[in-house]
Amino acid sequence: MTSSSDEESGTRLRSWTHDTGGAEAGGAGRRTRFYSEYEPRFESLTDGFDRHVLDRSFPSDGHGGHDFIPLLRGFDVLLEDHPEILERDRAQVVEISRQARSDPRLQDMARQGQYEDQLLTLHTGLGEQLGPVYLECMLAGKAPRTYQLLSKYRPHGRVGGEGASCNPAKAHWADRSLRPYLQVADQLESYDFDDGDAHAGLDGSFPSGHTSEAYWQGLMLATFLPEVAAGILARTADAGHSRAVMGAHFPLDIIGGRIMGSYIAANRWSDREFRPLLLDARAELRSVLEAECGAPLAEVAKADQPYLSDGEARRWYRSLLTYGFPQIGDGGQRLEIPAEAPALLLGAHPSLDEQQRADVLRATAVDSGYPLDIRGEHGGWQRLDLMAAMTARVTVGADGAVQVH
């Protein structure tokens, strides 16, 4: 990829780049420039949240004291009763890695997913015209409140913050969940930089922390910009999938990471003390982008070239909810919506009440019984198709019942 920066005028780097010079066969050259090297420092941001606001304690801090193990306990079922699913998981990561051999875009995306802040790499999901404007604004510090809440880097990333780590869950399953590059190394392609460390970690494979980050960042961004939610979430799904391309995680790890990231984002939006920060950042980002584009975001999105068509985006996102695994449990079970989840539709469907938003989530969800789907307390997250729910056309009848079209 090439840089669109103009060194003479001093404009900031827009494109993620690497140096392919001297790369060995199968490698990707040396790491050179990264978005993160051009990110604004916390102390340099103006008009952002005061430190005392960011340093406050909120009910959603630590994500309810959650170590995420209860959300992911369906993995125990697979370990104990379904070796055929785990074997299919191993076969899939090999197939995904090999399929990327002829697709430089997937290879670049895998490197971005490994090393970058997805708040920045997700910019392509906003559209051909809006995406670069968004990236430029983020790099220039023009949306400091958004950056303070959604960046992965500390002391930023207030949405993730303390308690968002997947390390407790990884440690819980570490001895039964080895990374692909430790299990099937001789069958994987290498897409890392020559001096990269994508295959250096010895921690557990399940769940994927990079995927969790991508999903809480992508879902948050989609709630801020519902006009382009389809593209943002399709690009988010790409970021998760790229972990399999890199050979760093299995598809089941990615599904587990999506479950974690969805919970983290929903937990923040459902926290009524934290929500005002999100609303402030949302208003800031929308105002900045509309000022830069000179038009309302709905008009900008309508005129732009999207990342994928809405239909393509919805099909791609939904395919990665299950990765083609067969159902191992009973289908047709009623979905009990997690208490925090309806808050994720506040931006896309602001006129609906909480029960109506829950009904939209239920109407757009996948069937029960797929791997990692669990029922009861902490269940339901695997089935949520947040792409379909956020982009659905919804009408409300005289009795208050919602219809999803």
Is residue 27 assigned to a domain? no
Cα–Cα distance for residue pair 87/74, rounded to 1 Å: 16
Q: What is the pLDDT of residue 164?
A: 85
Is residue 11 assigned to a domain? no
Q: What is the pLDDT of residue 226?
A: 98
Q: Which domain holds residue 248?
A: 44-404
Which of left, alpha, beta for 62 (phi over 0: left; psi -120 to 50: alpha)? Answer: left
Judged on CB neighbours under 10 Å (0-12, 13-18, 19+), 290 is middle
Cα–Cα distance for residue pair 133/136, rounded to 1 Å: 5
pLDDT over 90 for what percent of the chain? 78
Tokens representing 264 are: 């983290």
Q: Answer yes or no: are the C-beta atoms of 263 and 63 closer than 8 Å.
A: yes
**Given the structure tokens 């949306």, which residue do they identify?**
143
Judged on CB neighbours under 10 Å (0-12, 13-18, 19+), 327 is middle
Q: What is the pLDDT of residue 33?
A: 54
Query: What digits encode the pLDDT tens for the residues 314-344?
Result: 999 999 999 999 999 999 999 999 999 999 9
Query: What digits encode the pLDDT tens for the residues 279-308?
Result: 999 999 999 999 999 999 999 999 999 999
**Residue 19, phi then psi, degrees to nearest 5:** -100, 115
Is residue 61 assigned to a domain? yes
Domain count, the chain: 1
Q: What is the pLDDT of residue 15?
A: 42
Is residue 32 assigned to a domain? no
**E strands present in 72-161:** none
Is residue 314 assigned to a domain? yes
Helix (H, G, I), strand (E, B) or coil at 37: helix
Per-residue pLDDT of the chain (405 residues; tens, 9 = 90+): 233 333 322 333 334 444 434 334 345 666 555 666 666 665 567 789 988 898 899 999 987 667 899 999 999 999 999 999 999 999 999 999 999 999 999 999 999 999 999 999 999 999 999 999 999 999 888 999 999 999 987 655 799 987 788 889 999 999 999 999 999 999 999 999 988 999 998 999 999 999 999 999 999 999 999 999 999 999 999 999 999 999 999 999 999 999 999 999 999 999 999 999 999 999 999 999 999 999 999 999 999 999 999 999 999 999 999 999 999 999 999 999 999 999 999 999 999 999 999 999 999 999 999 999 999 989 999 999 999 999 999 999 999 999 998
DSSP state of 343: G
Is residue 19 assigned to a domain? no
Is residue 36 assigned to a domain? no
For the chain, the average pLDDT equals: 89
Cα–Cα distance for residue pair 14/201, rounded to 1 Å: 30
Q: Answer yes or no: are the C-beta atoms of 218 and 122 closer than 8 Å.
A: yes
Q: What is the pLDDT of residue 47?
A: 83
In sequence order, the 6+-apart residues with CB closer than 8 A to the CB of 367 are 327, 331, 332, 383
Is residue 2 assigned to a domain? no
Strands 394-396 and 402-404: antiparallel
Q: What is the pLDDT of residue 4?
A: 35
